[in-house]
Every structure is written in structure tokens, then in C-alpha cells.
Structure 1
Amino acid sequence: MAPISTFLIIVLVILLFLLILGGAGIYLLVKVGKKATKKARKVANRAVSHMAAMDPGDAGEAERMRLDLRREISITRQAVDQALRDGWGLGELPQLVGEISMHADQLDGQLGLYARQSRTSPYVDHATLARLREHYSKLTTACARIRADLINDQMTHSATGISEIQSRTDLEIEARRQAPIPDPLDQIDELYNRTMIDRARPEEPR
């Protein structure tokens, strides 16, 4: 009986191990599937937004504002992240960009809702579109100003370094002018002339 019990225990352990592996595999597949679904949904949404932005009407204008706003937020975040990696002192600028991103997400939803309503209803609320344009303009202008300020800081820092290099270059060139390096060809000519003079000079009697 003992060998049979041991065999059953081994079989149960193997089955349990296989069940654990199967569960882990299913979990990974579900996780990867969710990520792939999110990416596919995001790509599909972008494609739909680009297609909708070609509409010449108010709905198309709203979709174009959505695309432009997303692009402005993205490149502004990239500029701030790059400045942080370079060690720039940004103060509360990253928090400000976060708040701008939050408002941009809200405006993106409002623009999307307006675009859908404009496509399905013949009645257009021009006052709402004007307010959406105003909010869009304020957010994109804020992003542009932040990027311009970051570029100005980088240019100022680079200008300081370039000025130092220019000063060092001037000093080095001036030092070389004050202490010119002898030309090897001139040294060879001088040595040759000395040799010829020594040969032409009569030997002194011993």
C-alpha cells in the first residue's frame, strides 16, 4: 500500500504543478490580450479621429482641435521630461503641465461629444463651439509658451558655454602668437647653413 500511496502523491503533485503552470499561462495570455486590445483600440480611435478630422464641417473642426491638442500636450510633456533628465530646475512647471494635461483631457472629451452631436443632429450650437475654440486656444498657447521658455533656458545655458569656449580659444590663439612654434624646415635650413660655414672655415694649425 505504501508504494501506491507514494505514487498517488507524486501524481497529485505533478497535476497540481501543471494546474499552476496552466493558470499562470492563462493569466499571462489574458494580460497580453488586454494590452493588445488597448493598443488596437487606441490605434482604431486614432484612425477614426483622423478620418473624422477630414470632415469640412463643425464636427471635422472639433476633431482637428482634438488631434492638435493631443499633439501639443505630447510634445510639451516630452520637452519637460527631457529638461528633467538634463537636470534643469523647473520649479512647479511639471505640476503645471500635469494640470494642463488634465484640462486637455476634459476638453478632448467635450470636443468629441460635440463632434458626435454635430454629426447626428442638424442643429449646431455655434456658441458652444466658440467656447470650445477659446479653451482650445488657451491650452495650446500655454503649451507653446512652456516649450518656448524651456528652449530659451537651454539657449541661455548653451550661450554661456559657447562664450567660455570662445574666450578660451582667443586666449590660446594669442598665446600661440606670442610664442611662435619654430618651423622644422627653417631649423633644417639653419643647421645646413651652419654646416656649410663650418666646412668653408679653414682648419686651425695644430
Structure 2
Amino acid sequence: MTVEEPKDLVRRGYDALSLRYDEAYDSDTKYRHWVADLHARLAPGSRVLDLGCGSGVPVVRDLVRAGHRVTGVDISETQIDRAREQVPQAEFTRADATSVIFPVATFDAVVSLYALIHVPLEEQPPLLEKIASWLRPGGWFLCVTGQHAWTGTDENWLGSGVTMWWSHADADTNRSWIARAGLTVDHEEIVPEGDGGHALFWARRPL
């Protein structure tokens, strides 16, 4: 399988199941306390990037309501269309996270919840290095990624008949990649899901 094929599966999957995903995973409730924790760490009017922003709810919406300036990026056109409808005050770009470009030290925080796990493994460390460069000194990186190493597909994702693709390293590897990118891990926890779970990291660019 080439690099392009998995990304096409991801894009098509979220194009088809944007609304069903939000309903199945109750994104509004599941993510909201993380957004509140991030807001508490930010100065008023901070600039935030949501990488893999989905439909814009709740991360972009809640941060905008809190007075922050937010940019959302997602590979799915349907997700971006819904995000623009739901949070018209934010800026959104449909793009592959690994190809998007921002100036150095643009953001006070970068959020990436359940998005890195859709990026081919070999592209994840370079992406983390780019994320670190986009952060201002003292800036926060909040991400949810893999707890255990696995790459594969679900050909009946959410019982829809639509195929989805994932690829993630284990938590130890993710932690080492984040550190190698130049960020300091401040906190880490397991986010349970079904019979397994994911790893949540709070990391920071040193002052």
C-alpha cells in the first residue's frame, strides 16, 4: 500500500461519516474537558491550531467562544464544510496535515486529537518536528495518539460499510518522538476505549 492510498481512505471515510463519527464518539462531551484544560493554560486571545479539526466541535468552537483565535486543518472536505458552518468565526483549511505550512512560532498551542493515528508512521516524526517549530516558546501541544502499536483497516467502520485506516506507534515511541521534536512532556495519561485505549500527551515547547 502506498502512502497516498491510506490518506485517500481516511479522507473518503470522514467525507462519508463526518456526522456519524461525532454521534458515535460523542465528540462534544468526550473532548470538552480537554479543551477547558487547554483554555486554562492559555493567555487571553491566544492563537491555536487544531490539526485534524474534524467538524470544528468542540475544540475550535469552544476555544473561539473563549476568545482565542483558532485555525483548523482537516483532510476531509466534508469535515471542513461542516466546521465552517458551525464555527464561522474561525479559519479553516482543507489540507493534508503533513503538507500544510505555517511560519515558525505562529501558535500558542497546537491540538491534534485522534488525527496523528491517521498519518503514516514514517511521516509522524517529521510532522511532530513541524508542530514544535510552529509553537511559540512556552506553547502547548495537546495530542491523542496510539497507546499500542498497530496499523490496519476496518472495512466496516462504525457499521457503515465504509473503510477506515489507522497507523500508530506505542506510547513509549510517541513519547520519544515528541521529545526528539524538541518538546517537553508535561503530562501523559491513558484514554480508555473499548478493549484498549489511546495515549494523551500534554507537551510544551521550552521557554
TM-score w.r.t. the length of structure 2 is: 0.21
When Rg is computed on C-alpha atoms for both structures, the one with the higher figure is: 1
- Flag the structure with higher strand content: 2
- Flag the structure with higher helix content: 1
TM-score w.r.t. the length of structure 1 is: 0.21
